[in-house]
Every structure is written in structure tokens, then in C-alpha cells.
Amino acid sequence: MQNKHKGLLWILGWCVTFTCGVTISKFLSTSTSNFSLFCIRYFCGLLFFLPIFIPQVTTLAKVKSNPWLHVIRALCIGASTLLTYQSYRNLPLAIATSAGFTGPLLASSFGMIFLKEKINHFKITALIAGYLGVLFIVQPHNTDLNLYYVFIGINACILAGFANTLARKLSYMDPALAIMFSSSLILGLIASIGFFTADMPENCFDLFLLCLVGLCGSLSQFAYIKAVSFAEISFIAPFEYTRLLLAVPIGYVLFGESINIFQVFGMTLIIFGSLYLSRGKNY
């Protein structure tokens, strides 16, 4: 089997485990906070990845950029995770998933503003199409959709897009493994403090679900790392959108969620715009 095919299998594994994680989070009781989700998610991730990272700890010594940029990037990822779970827990699965696809749109916008990346007519067209897609999905006149949580989901993507922009900036000076290691370590330490000091739910079923979310989160992160180790991101990026093929039927079967034709059109615009903008990007 060729490496790119292995990468394809791993990215599909990422799609499944990520979707399972956010789906499970929707079954949590409202009394369980998103901070508890965050703590379990990254505490499990720290335990899961320590055996992998410890032999590679010397990569941190190769960091040449400002360490505070790594800290800021990690905090952006952590805040994005908190908002992402809040969005998924309160929106239809397909809508929340589509909001997550705006990441490449926002990352490209930030890249143009902060990194002075080249702008051309095709990029502008892709951005306009993607942002129009958001409007078709949101449909401001649609009273059945809580726009507050859509706004939360888009803010999560803004933070993720900023984190990706920082990653591209850091990649000019630091190894990719060091960039990934630093964020995982910082978030893992924050989560560990929260895990042992914050109030965890007393509901045994919620604790069980939180552990499942943490396991799915760790497996999804591992699957993504394996995917990019076998194939270029420009090759595997289009297959990330298969999450929508999972989200729509899961949302319909488990939660009775449905989408209309305008939202389908909006999702299509976002996917095509994001696909164009994500070509050849490393982060």
C-alpha cells in the first residue's frame, strides 16, 4: 500500500473518531460544563501522547522562535476547543460541522492580513463563496436556529484560524514536531490542573461519556498525526469534508435533525471555497 493511501485511511479514521467525540458530547447533561470536557479531553491526550513525545523531548531545544508565540497558539487552540464543544452541544450536528469548515477561509484571510500572503482573483472568489455559504446556512430569518451558537462556532474557527496562522509563522523557524509538542504539553498541563482542582460531574454516566470523549479526542489527534506523516496535507485535506457525510445521517437518526436545501447549498459553497484555499497549505 502506498503512503498516500495509508494517509487517506488515517484521515478517514480521524473523521470517524472526531465525529464520534462531538456526537457523544451531545448526550452529556447540561449540568456538565465545557471546561470539564476540555480537562478530560487534554488530560487524556497528555497521558496518551507522553510515551510518544518523551523520546522526542529534545526537539523543544530546537525552538528558535519566541516561546510566547507557542503559548499564545496553545491558548488559542484551547479556547477554540471550548467554543467548539459548546457549538456542537447546542447546534444540529450538520450545522456545527459546516461551521467548522470555515477554518480554511479564516486561515487564508488571516494569512493575507498578517503574513502578507499573495492575493489573487481566485482566492477572493473562493473567500466570497465560502462566506456566502455561511449566510445560506445561518439564514438570519430562520428562527429555528440559535444564531448565538452559530456565532460561537465561527468564533471557534477564528481562534483555530489564528492558531494555524501562528503555526505557519512558527514553521519558518521551528520543527513541526516541536510546534505540535509545545501546544499538546501546554494544554495537557492546564487540563491536568483543572482535572484535579475543578468540580467534575458526580453523574457516573456523564463521567463515562467524558472519558469516551477524551478517548475519541486522543485517537483523532493521533490519527491526524499519522495521516500527515504518510501524505501531504494538500492530498488529505479534501477528505476531511467526509465528516459531513457522517454528521448528516447521525444527526438525523440520533437527534431527529434535518437540513433544508439552502443549507445544503451553503455547505457546498463552504466546501468548494475551503478546498481551493487549503490546497498546498501545511497548517
Q: Answer yes or no: is pLDDT of 205 > 80.
A: yes
Q: Answer yes or no: is pLDDT of 20 > 90.
A: yes
**pLDDT value, residue 81:** 92
d(CA 134, CA 269): 8
The mean pLDDT of 62-66, rounded to a whole number, is 81
Name the pLDDT band for 72 (thresholds 50, 70, 90): very high
pLDDT in tens, 247-278: 889 999 999 988 888 888 988 888 887 777 66
Name every residue whose Cβ is closer than 8 Å to that of residue 162 and which is 6 or more positions away in sequence: 76, 106, 110
**pLDDT value, residue 104:** 66
The mean pLDDT of 48-72, rounded to a whole number, is 80
What's the mean pLDDT when you consider all of the chain? 82
Q: Is 152 exposed, middle or buried (0-12, 13-18, 19+ CB in 10 A)?
A: buried
pLDDT in tens, 131-169: 788 778 766 566 567 778 888 988 888 888 788 778 778
The mean pLDDT of 119-124, rounded to a whole number, is 77
**pLDDT value, residue 280:** 47
Name every residue whose Cβ is closer than 8 Å to that of residue 174 and which is 6 or more positions away in sequence: 62, 63, 64, 65
Q: What is the pTM of this model?
A: 0.79
d(CA 161, CA 102): 9
Contact 70, 183 (CB under 8 A): yes
Name the pLDDT band for 21 (thresholds 50, 70, 90): very high
The mean pLDDT of 230-252, rounded to a whole number, is 80
Contact 32, 206 (CB under 8 A): yes
**pLDDT value, residue 283:** 39
The mean pLDDT of 3-30, rounded to a whole number, is 90
Name the pLDDT band for 89 (thresholds 50, 70, 90): very high
Q: Is 227 exposed, middle or buried (0-12, 13-18, 19+ CB in 10 A)?
A: buried
Q: Answer yes or no: is pLDDT of 6 > 50.
A: yes
Q: Percent of the chain scored above 90 by pLDDT? A: 22
Contact 175, 65 (CB under 8 A): no
**pLDDT value, residue 281:** 47
Q: For the stretch 8-42, what's the b/e string if a residue is b when 16 or more beta carbons lie within 10 angstroms of its beta carbon?
A: bbbbbbbbbbbbbbbbbbbebeeebbbebbbbbbb
Q: Answer yes or no: is pLDDT of 233 > 70.
A: no
More confident residue, 108 or 15: 15
Q: Where are the domains of the chain?
A: 3-278
Upper half-sphere CA count for residue 265 (Cβ side, 13 Å): 7
The mean pLDDT of 50-64, rounded to a whole number, is 76
Name the pLDDT band for 108 (thresholds 50, 70, 90): low
Which amino acid, one-letter code, is at 81? T
**pLDDT value, residue 114:** 67
Name the pLDDT band for 85 (thresholds 50, 70, 90): very high
Instruction: Tally the residues of the chain.
Output: 283
Report the Cα–Cα distance between both ends of the chain, in Å, rounded. Answer: 26
Collect contacts of 71-75 with beta carbons under 8 A, ≥24 apart. Answer: 71/186, 72/166, 73/163, 73/166, 73/167, 73/170, 73/179, 73/182, 73/183, 74/182, 74/183, 74/186, 74/187, 75/186
Which amino acid, one-letter code, is at 269? L
Range among 15-19, 63-67, 216-220 rated most confident:
15-19
Collect contacts of 229-233 with beta carbons under 8 A, ≥24 apart. Answer: 229/7, 230/3, 230/4, 230/6, 230/7, 230/10, 231/3, 231/4, 231/6, 231/7, 231/8, 231/11, 232/4, 232/7, 233/278, 233/281, 233/282, 233/283
Q: Answer yes or no: is pLDDT of 39 > 60.
A: yes
